[in-house]
Chains A and B, each alone.
Chain A
Amino acid sequence: MDFLNAFVALSNFVLVPGIAYGSQLALGALGVTLIYGILRFSNFAHGDTMAFGTMVTILFTWWFQSMGISAGPLPTALLALPFGIAITMALVVGTDRAVFRFYRQQKAKPVVFVMVSLGVMFMMNGLVRFIIGPGDQRFSDGERFIIKARTFKQMTGLDEGLAIKTSQGITLVTAIIVVALLFWFLNKTRTGKSMRAYSDNEDLALLSGINPERVVMITWLIVAALATIAGTLYGLDKSFKPFTYFQLLLPIFAAAIVGGLGNPLGAIAGGFVIAMSEVMITYAWKKVAGYVLPESLEPDGLAQLLSTDYKFAVSFAILVIVLLFKPTGIFKGKAV
């Protein structure tokens, strides 16, 4: 029995990737939950908003790379990120003006909004494929690892190595900064409080003189920033492919619903619940089990519960369980 090696192996294959993936999902789910809380519909275009933001960031990254601008050991994409955010903000605010505002004035039902967002999703989807193509794009540069597995082994003398990718470290740090900023904004500033008030009780917010169009616009701006950051971090960590971002919609929605729709804290918790479940259920536990269990109990197979191809089933299963037993999510959100 070797708990230390078991823990290092667990960290390397489950905890570190899970935390990075969880942060990315949490940022995505925050965007979904904000739209749900303020505009009161499920925005199916969120995955493709992430794809668009990432695409713009990639284009700027390539442009910077061609000019020889780099961020040293950090990926150039971090420099391009503010430009990606700005253009995505323009796109979503434009979409809101051109499409969603019309339905707001009609006081359309939420289900109509969902269908409208589906249309917006297809448009954005097409736009992204048209500009950058449907293929895989890699745009990460700079130092690839913070700690390499071999260096870790030499440092500690353990049999198991622990590798932490730069993208994973950046993901976690960025997510913490973004979430802290968002919560500061929502809880401490006048505008943030007015957003919470509008989400809590729309009629009373109107009576208090809160301007709904302003609240809606600020929400879209924040959502554009969150989507672009989440998308870029995911792209740096894995790779960018429009279809993958469309598929991300499911775990993101699962995360937002598990945490409680409309509740920002819930979105973060939900992101980590979904990410950890996905990673843990699709991980082959043979190695960790080999360190922890006595020899006689060691599994013969890989001890993998589900092939990674089925990882989306995990989000689905969690979603169904939550909706059956706690429809408002872990933190009390709005009933779906």
Chain B
Amino acid sequence: MSEPFLIGDSMTGGYGKGPDILHDCTIAVNPGEIAVIVGPNGAGKSTAMKAVFGMLSVRSGAVRLGGEDITSLSPQDRVVKGMGFVPQTSNIFTSMTVEENLEMGAFIRTDDFSDTMEQVYHLFPILKEKRFQAAGELSGGQRQQVAVGRALMTKPKVLMLDEPTAGVSPIVMDELFDRIIEVARTGLPILMVEQNAKQALEIADKGYVLVQGRNAHTGTGKELLADDEVRQSFLGG
């Protein structure tokens, strides 16, 4: 099998000089795919994604994007390389308007980014309606759309979402998932950490179940949903 587009290969590491949180953990995603990291609380789901994004020190293993080793790059440099990251919290500029948020997303671009902005507005029509409103005044679901839109403005080659549905209502969650599928259909690989494991695995092409920083189960979303062990251990039967 050829190498995936983005891969965090057997990563071991932790925050700063602290103890290792990840142990030989592998996470990968290919174009057009949605890969989901799920697992019980404290399993290191977000940590695994942050490791891929360079926010903690990977002591062994490597991160490769399109075959290039980016293990030693800072998160900022990885953005330039084409990684879009949406943090779980404080992922928008609350005091700035929706449009300014998108402009700031495109800060590293020197070319004309108005088509990308049109695409984002096309994907999230509500944002176009509220473009001159302060992003902090929007509802939870709308804020997440701003956050995803901001990350899309760099025209990333891969999009990483850290619990995009945290704290939004089930209806809004379904809508967000629909949007995420729509983004994935454009061919953009999406790596996502999710608390709502069942719904997330339903839309996932690939699922990673982490337990205590290790790969416990890996497979397509459907396989994992059908796996008795996975269901019993944390999907609630």
Binding site for B on A (CB under 8 A): 190, 193-194, 196-197, 200-201, 203-210
Instruction: Report which of B79, B94, B104, B108 forms a contact with A193, defined as CB distance below 8 A.
Output: B104
Chain B residues with Cβ below 8 Å from A207 are: 75-76, 79, 85, 87
Instruction: Report which of B79, B96, B150, B154 forms a contact with A196, defined as CB distance below 8 A.
Output: B96
Chain B residues with Cβ below 8 Å from A208 are: 79, 104-105, 107-108, 150
Cα A193 to Cα B108 with chains together (Å): 13
Instruction: Report which of A200, A203, A210 forms a contact with B107, defined as CB distance below 8 A.
Output: A210
Answer whether residue B92 sits at the interface, using C-beta atoms and an 8 A cutoff: yes
Closest A residue to B83 by CB, please name it: A207
Cα A200 to Cα B154 with chains together (Å): 20
Answer whether residue B205 sits at the interface, using C-beta atoms and an 8 A cutoff: no
Answer whether residue B202 sits at the interface, using C-beta atoms and an 8 A cutoff: no
Closest B residue to A37 by CB, please name it: B95
Subset of 30 A-B contacts with CB under 8 Å: A190-B103, A193-B96, A196-B93, A196-B96, A197-B96, A197-B107, A200-B94, A200-B95, A200-B96, A201-B90, A201-B92, A201-B93, A204-B87, A204-B90, A204-B93, A205-B104, A206-B75, A207-B76, A207-B79, A207-B85, A207-B87, A208-B79, A208-B105, A208-B107, A208-B150, A209-B76, A209-B79, A209-B154, A210-B104, A210-B107
Chain A residues with Cβ below 8 Å from B108 are: 208-209
Scoring B75, B93, B108 by chain A CB atoms within 10 A of each residue's CB, the highest score goes to B93
Cα A206 to Cα B91 with chains together (Å): 12
Asked whether B76 lies within 8 Å of A200 as measured between CB atoms, the reply is: no
Answer whether residue B9 sits at the interface, using C-beta atoms and an 8 A cutoff: no
Cα A204 to Cα B55 with chains together (Å): 13
Answer whether residue B73 sits at the interface, using C-beta atoms and an 8 A cutoff: no
Cα A194 to Cα B105 with chains together (Å): 10
| Contact of A194 with B107 at beta-carbon distance under 8 Å, contacts A200-B93, A200-B96 already known | yes
Closest A residue to B77 by CB, please name it: A209
Distance to closest chain A CB from B157 (angstroms)? 15
How many residue pairs link A and B with beta carbons under 8 A? The number is 55
| Number of interface residues, chain B, beta carbon within 8 A | 21
Chain A residues with Cβ below 8 Å from B87 are: 203-204, 207
Interface positions of B from 140 to 176, Cβ below 8 Å from A: 150, 154
Distance to closest chain B CB from A33 (angstroms)? 13
Answer whether residue B216 sits at the interface, using C-beta atoms and an 8 A cutoff: no
Chain A residues with Cβ below 8 Å from B33 are: none
Cα A207 to Cα B90 with chains together (Å): 12
Asked whether A209 lies within 8 Å of B75 as measured between CB atoms, the reply is: no
Closest B residue to A187 by CB, please name it: B100
| Contact of A204 with B75 at beta-carbon distance under 8 Å, contacts A193-B100, A194-B104, A209-B108 already known | no
Chain B residues with Cβ below 8 Å from A203 are: 87, 90
Cα A210 to Cα B79 with chains together (Å): 11
Cα A194 to Cα B92 with chains together (Å): 13
Answer whether residue B126 sits at the interface, using C-beta atoms and an 8 A cutoff: no
Cα A206 to Cα B74 with chains together (Å): 11
Distance to closest chain A CB from B186 (angstroms)? 21
Cα A197 to Cα B150 with chains together (Å): 12
Closest A residue to B93 by CB, please name it: A200
Distance to closest chain A CB from B91 (angstroms)? 6
* 8 further contact pairs, Cβ within 8 A, besides A204-B91, A206-B76, A210-B107: A193-B100, A196-B96, A197-B93, A197-B96, A205-B93, A207-B75, A207-B85, A210-B104
Distance to closest chain B CB from A202 (angstroms)? 10
Closest A residue to B151 by CB, please name it: A207
Chain A residues with Cβ below 8 Å from B92 are: 201, 204
Closest B residue to A205 by CB, please name it: B104
**4 closest cross-chain pairs (CB), A and B:** A209-B108, A200-B93, A197-B104, A208-B107
Chain B residues with Cβ below 8 Å from A205 are: 93, 104
Asked whether B91 lies within 8 Å of A209 as measured between CB atoms, the reply is: no
Chain A residues with Cβ below 8 Å from B107 are: 190, 194, 197, 208-210
Cα A208 to Cα B80 with chains together (Å): 9
Closest A residue to B78 by CB, please name it: A207
Cα A194 to Cα B103 with chains together (Å): 9
Closest B residue to A212 by CB, please name it: B76
Chain B residues with Cβ below 8 Å from A197 are: 93, 96, 100, 104, 107
Distance to closest chain A CB from B103 (angstroms)? 6
Chain A residues with Cβ below 8 Å from B75 are: 206-207
Contact with A along B78-122 (1 / 0, CB 8 A): 011000010100111111100010011101100000000000000
Cα A207 to Cα B104 with chains together (Å): 10
